[in-house]
Structure 1
């Protein structure tokens, strides 16, 4: 159906399925019944989502279509649906979109599968559109496609991983860092093929074809969740400094990190309240956003590593012992932050540049995972 415009749609998981919600008014566009714990990953084309399920990576069409036509666009909507296309995986893990490609990692086999993001236009991924290779051992890994045709990929085992290297198109190894214990989390920043990875002794930055270690004052410093922006040289991270001990209360840090990818340095920002791994996002001007336990959305100027605004958004909350239980979730698209509050079954919309809470929409389900797709913003 042709429409005058398409508003961003949120895909929200709940116990029993996935709802697709129109973020302009909260209306439920589709309700897809599906059991199991589901994770949602933008496919990178402004329309599709990869759903991590027991089958692997399933293709979900959010039904928003933008067709360029000379100096303007035509907009169409269809009913969202699972297309039936799936990339089989034992343990579907990280999904990364970069350089016009999308890479998925199967933690169960160590297999990396890559496809041209545009191949999803018909909602189907045929075998000839997929290329794959295996890392040496199964592990919780990640792969990042580069414009050069190389792929940055982790190596390790289920018990130990400390290597990330550049795998060239012919399978040979280029640049490599073995000084990234516990490697987890990645982000891409402004510039050609600028990528960061989290470690437990300070992050590493891949820039100009080489890895650069980010020095930190702490002996243990984990930034396993990283959030980049193609319009900013700064990467926002979590910042943990207490090595986990079995049986001990997990760390609830109140500081976040800001990595400057141009010189591989990092600064910290004290927020005064704790957060969790689903608290983060980036604004279109490179702002960092972090939702803290006190219910505030902190808006950070990443260039100065300072909080510029705080917006009261959700009820105060604490991190669940089981990370798969519903908790507040932050996603950003353009100048807007979308924040779920499972306690009140609401979806809040905040304009990042002004720090204004624009709307609070009632949901019919308790929200868990979420992703928001703006059809006019592709990566």
Structure 2
């Protein structure tokens, strides 16, 4: 899918932005609607209803609407935690809301700011929902083309962006619904990495070392029941990551809060298969083209899992950290940051200007000099596997990984430098298909660049200072 409204000269009808809903005032429809309302209210209160005479429907509905408050405090179905945030406009997606069919759905951006999350239509900047929520919020695509997992003090909260695509033969049907937190939460003491691969989503709780997984399609109703979740414990709490594989195994890190150097294959029966203990400071992962191909960052060169084994990536430096890695199912290459200065207490942090490109087919790496620094939120991958990196000079660098060369540079944001505190707002890059979405906190803008052409397509005004961001294209399942 493409942002059609932009590519067709802001043809609002073509992008599905102008929608007309016709309500037919048929008495039979009114009665049926009343019956549905009665059924919903009674069900919420924990009672059962088999049949209700049509002649009583309207009167009963009126009485039950007035008395619904009496059961409003009844416990709602939850996953592992019932503490979904329900404050703010559009903060709670209604399970009973009927989706509205539209001609198309454009990608939507979930943008965290101080005090909440805005859901923005990327075709014109319309704020579809503004969800009030305190705390530093991290946003992770859930992998199903509709939901985002919000890392908060509650754990991993499910956020519905309100876009639905239903395949129907040789075409799709499109629907929208009110975005909001669904109330479903995967409890976590310290929510960390979220990884989607092989039709599964895995989340890691750094505070307990627990890995929790679910079939990504289980999120279709916005809820995750306990029987849809599977979990296992690593040996100790640590800042870790887990990658589900097609084989049914899981690649998972092991370590402690102070030290970690191991990543291994945990098979479906809990036994350990392949293992690498030569990955000090293991952090960051990416999957690449091919079945069950993944790369992990270390401080002495990365390790690649391929053909059921781990392969060490040799590097010329004694210290070489690539803790932020970005893969593509269309490319055997993994794009990484590339640090070569070992941190020392009290010293200024390193701001590298080179990025790394790992060839997972032979476990080798090359570097690309960009001439300007970047940070961990600067990266993305294009539809054809292109590398995307935003640098301090405000340019978006488009890279051909096969030749390790910058092919295009696009002036996008105000020149910037990385904040000392990584949680403070800074430019953020996310990609979906052939498009890169870039925030500019200084100018309160959201920019859209077409990766294949290197063209800046639009710059949208934001009403908040953007921090974390996730962009979801409903037609691109991960």
Normalised to the residue count of structure 2, the TM-score between the two structures is 0.79
Please say if 1:155 is aligned against 2:246: no
Q: CA deviation at 1:369?
A: 0.1
Please say if 1:59 is aligned against 2:158: yes
CA deviations over 1:279-300 (Å, ceiling 9, x no partner): 0000001100000000000000
Match of 2:303 in 1: 204
Match of 1:354 in 2: 453
Q: Equivalents in 2 of 1:17, 1:339: separation in Å?
A: 19
Q: Equivalents in 1 of 2:342, 2:311: separation in Å?
A: 23
Secondary structure class of the residue paired with 1:121: helix
Secondary structure class of the residue paired with 1:348: strand
Match of 2:231 in 1: 132
Match of 1:38 in 2: 137
CA deviations over 1:90-132 (Å, ceiling 9, x no partner): 0000000000000000000000000000000000000000000
Match of 2:384 in 1: 285
Please say if 1:6 is aligned against 2:105: yes
Q: Equivalents in 2 of 1:378, 1:187: separation in Å?
A: 17
Match of 2:397 in 1: 298
Please say if 1:105 is aligned against 2:224: no
Q: Equivalents in 2 of 1:284, 1:356: separation in Å?
A: 15
Match of 2:366 in 1: 267
Q: Equivalents in 1 of 2:167, 2:476: separation in Å?
A: 13
Match of 1:26 in 2: 125
Q: CA deviation at 1:64?
A: 0.3
Counterpart of 2:326 (choices 222, 227, 249) is 227
Q: Equivalents in 1 of 2:373, 2:286: separation in Å?
A: 22
Counterpart of 1:313 (choices 412, 433, 438) is 412
Counterpart of 2:353 (choices 234, 254, 260) is 254
Q: Equivalents in 1 of 2:302, 2:346: separation in Å?
A: 26
Q: Equivalents in 2 of 1:146, 1:38: separation in Å?
A: 28
CA deviations over 1:174-225 (Å, ceiling 9, x no partner): 0000000000000000000000000000000000000000000000000000
Task: Choose between structure 1 and 2: higher helix proportion.
Answer: 2
Q: CA deviation at 1:79?
A: 1.1
Q: Equivalents in 2 of 1:303, 1:285: separation in Å?
A: 11
CA deviations over 1:324-367 (Å, ceiling 9, x no partner): 00000000000000000000000000000000000000000000
Please say if 1:191 is aligned against 2:281: no
Q: Equivalents in 2 of 1:259, 1:209: separation in Å?
A: 18
Secondary structure class of the residue paired with 1:332: strand
Q: Equivalents in 2 of 1:13, 1:180: separation in Å?
A: 33
Match of 2:54 in 1: none
Counterpart of 2:427 (choices 304, 322, 328) is 328
Contiguous gaps of at least 5 residues in structure 2: 1-99
Please say if 1:182 is aligned against 2:281: yes
Task: Choose between structure 1 and 2: higher strand proportion.
Answer: 1
Q: Equivalents in 1 of 2:385, 2:266: separation in Å?
A: 29
Q: CA deviation at 1:164?
A: 0.1
Q: Equivalents in 2 of 1:149, 1:315: separation in Å?
A: 45
Q: Equivalents in 2 of 1:132, 1:266: separation in Å?
A: 34
Match of 2:266 in 1: 167
* Structure index of larger Rg: 2
Q: CA deviation at 1:70?
A: 1.1
Q: Equivalents in 2 of 1:217, 1:372: separation in Å?
A: 37
Counterpart of 1:92 (choices 165, 178, 191) is 191
Counterpart of 1:16 (choices 98, 115, 136) is 115
Q: CA deviation at 1:54?
A: 0.1
Match of 1:343 in 2: 442
Secondary structure class of the residue paired with 1:171: coil
Q: Equivalents in 1 of 2:445, 2:346: separation in Å?
A: 34
1:116-131 equivalences in 2 (<5 Å):
116-131=215-230
Q: Equivalents in 2 of 1:170, 1:190: separation in Å?
A: 26
Q: Equivalents in 1 of 2:310, 2:104: separation in Å?
A: 43
